[in-house]
Amino acid sequence: MPSTSHPDARVPAARRVVFVDGVRTPFGRARTDGLYAHTRADDLAVKTVREILRRHPGLPPERVDDVALAATTQQGDQGLTLGRTVAMLAGLPPTVPGFAVDRMCAGAMTAVTTTAAAIGFGAQDVTIAGGVEHMGHHPMGFDADPNPRFLAERIVAADALNMGVTAENLHDRFPALTRERADAYAVSSQEKYAAALASGRIDPDLVPVALRDPEHGWGLATADEPPRPGTTVGAIAGLPTPFRPGGRVTAGTSAPLTDGAASCLLAAEDVAVELGLPVRMRLVAFAYAGVEPEVMGLGPVPATHKALERAGLTIDDIGLIEINEAFAVQVLSFLDAFGIADDDPRVNPYGGAIAVGHPLASSGVRLMTQLARQFAEHPEVRYGITTMCVGLGQGGTVVWENPGFTGQEDAR
């Protein structure tokens, strides 16, 4: 006989999840004389979490149910269960738990979708999610020990663990992806970032970071270090191809090695209303997908198809696209797959990682924060996506809805 001593457990109804706000540090070049050469990775993450709390004083810190922070290389100053340690260092109450995430470049994106799923299920109300990468302290893949079976059993190609070589493989596979197109796209990224910076669209998302240099004393990081304004096609046309002699991928068409952190605040929509928090985006759907590791850059294509299908949308419904620019050829492969022009105004209106940098696990939240700002500028746009390729042959895409949509969609 079934037990009748306890009532059936309540099955929670799905709830709308919203993106409240996002911030990031200025991004620095990952080198011995870069902005953050003498700054700890976890301190960069702490700055972003503190800034989130400072910007939203109506949020009682004890209402944060979880902190998820990502890093690709989880060792040293970006190891030790970042979500928990950063929460404590940021001054959140000891009752607030936290955890670490690793999905390489999509670390922060995964931190967002993982905690958003918990909110949507009803297990949590408010979360902080983000990522940090100090590539100056922890170069990608440093001290890793890949299982020899990967190569011995031909599970992956010998060059699949080198991201630059996987970008060269895209050039090989798709003849239409020429170096000339990649160079032109990279220059456009620099130009769009410079225009966005000049028009005041970058600074509002930044939190200044105090710096201490043993030779130069104290300073303050207030601006991104990687951008190269004034870059021209002629200037990068002769750059060497470090990943392959006579190749097509150059430093000019790749995201620079970067240090930085980004965090965002997520909530159930009814809880956001209760606490007086802004609703900048609504989460619609998300998906991750795998591809052959040797063509890692194709990952956003199946991930986007899957996410759009789950949302009941097509690419024509998407009015804004924030795609991470690990390599110009990777973005171009996505655009070609969906029949989008290289200069489509929907794509990365503020420029992208080729200009601003790509601190691996933190970049997903940068994309989301910029999309939220673009939604506010474009009430005629209802849906947007954030998407990125992921090391070892993956892709991730999140579909978002603009809460300020006016119902008057433009012709784009």
27 inside domain: yes
User: How many folded domains does the chain comprise?
Assistant: 1
156 inside domain: no
Give 285's contacts (C-beta < 8 A, 6+ positions apart). Answer: 307, 308, 310, 311, 398, 399
Which of these is catalytic: 137, 138, 358, 378? Answer: 358
SS3 for 278? Answer: coil
DSSP 147-210: -THHHHTTSS-TTTT-HHHHHHHHHHH-TTS-HHHHHHHHHHHHHHHHHHHHTTSSGGGB--EE
The predicted pLDDT at position 304 comes to: 98
207 inside domain: no
DSSP 22-37: EEEPPPEESSTTSTTT
Query: How many whole angstroms separate alpha carbon 68 and alpha carbon 106?
Result: 13
Residue-range definition of the domain harbouring residue 75? 17-138+254-401
Which of these is catalytic: 105, 134, 137, 305? Answer: 105
264 included as an active-site residue: no
SS3 for 252? Answer: helix
208 inside domain: no
Residue 102's identity, in one-letter code, is: D
Angle (CA) 108 109 112, round 5°: 85
Give the pLDDT of the chain (412 residues) as one tens digit per residue: 455 556 666 777 789 999 999 999 999 999 999 999 999 999 999 999 999 999 999 999 999 999 999 999 999 999 999 999 999 999 999 999 999 999 999 999 999 999 999 999 999 999 999 999 999 999 887 778 888 898 888 888 877 878 999 999 999 999 999 999 999 999 999 999 999 999 999 999 999 999 988 888 899 999 999 999 999 999 999 999 999 999 999 999 999 999 999 999 999 999 999 999 999 999 999 999 999 999 999 999 999 999 999 999 999 999 999 999 999 999 999 999 999 999 999 999 999 999 999 999 999 999 999 999 999 999 999 999 999 999 999 999 999 999 999 986 554 4
Q: What is the CATH number of the domain that holds 396?
A: 3.40.47.10
97 inside domain: yes
101 inside domain: yes
238 inside domain: no
The predicted pLDDT at position 150 comes to: 86
358 included as an active-site residue: yes
The predicted pLDDT at position 13 comes to: 77
The predicted pLDDT at position 155 comes to: 86
The predicted pLDDT at position 4 comes to: 54
The predicted pLDDT at position 278 comes to: 98
Which of these is catalytic: 138, 264, 378, 389? Answer: 389
Sign of the CA dihedral 247, 252, 256, 262? negative
What the block records as the tokens of 80 is: 């030790």
Cβ distance 109 to 360 under 8 Å? Answer: no
Whether this model's pTM surpasses 0.85: yes
6 included as an active-site residue: no
221 inside domain: no
Q: How many residues does the chain have?
A: 412
Query: How many whole angstroms separate alpha carbon 100 and alpha carbon 79?
Result: 8
